[in-house]
Amino acid sequence: MQCLEARDALLEITTGRTPPDLRRAVAAHLADCPECRAVAGELEETAALLRAVPDPAPPDGFWPDFMLRLEERIREPVTVGGRLRRWFRTPPSLVPAAATAAAALVFAISSVVLRPPLPPTAPSPAALVAPYITDSMRALMPHLDEAVQIWQSGLGAENAEPLLEPLPQAP
């Protein structure tokens, strides 16, 4: 077992149930690796400290008060002013995410709207390829000239005749 695999399995072993074969493999690795043994010790100390902390409990009367406030908020009509007040009360951690999303949207729209137009006399792909077709290519692919001519004439697949004969189907 490699150190990375062992360290990934340490958290699982410390906090939950793991298969015995994984426990044995990590234990064998820890016997030979002092760095992973130190990490395992720190993880055990942290888990012990977390287990010692009592479970948080809300103060008396929290849930009934919470439910009343929730019901009031649900019954409250949604208005523009209410939405703005709620938006300004959002946690500050959401503001950078919203700003990033807005900037990405502005960039996407501006890249579409402000994109320079394509040149009106752009050469066709066939015109770019045709000068590079050699005699040896024509000898190896007899239908190449015909395909290039069809391409240059701008015929679509619905108007072009097949260049190759269909293969016979096996019985």
Say if 39 falls within a structural domain: yes
Contact (CB, 8 A) for 124 and 152: yes
> What is the domain extent for residue 39?
3-52
Q: Which of 42, 46, 17 is nearest to 30 (CA)?
A: 42
Say if 146 falls within a structural domain: yes
- CB-CB neighbours of 121 under 10 Å: 5
Say if 25 falls within a structural domain: yes
Predicted confidence (pLDDT) per residue in 86-99, tens digit: 777 766 667 777 78
pTM beyond 0.75: no
Say if 85 falls within a structural domain: no
How many domains does the chain divide into?
2
Predicted confidence (pLDDT) per residue in 9-64, tens digit: 887 888 777 888 888 899 999 999 999 899 988 988 888 888 888 888 888 989 99
Say if 66 falls within a structural domain: no
Q: Which of 26, 20, 56 is nearest to 39 (CA)?
A: 26
b or e along 48-85 (b: 16 or more beta carbons within 10 Å of the residue's beta carbon)?
eeeeeeeeeeeeeeeeeeeeeeeeeeeeeeeeeeeeee
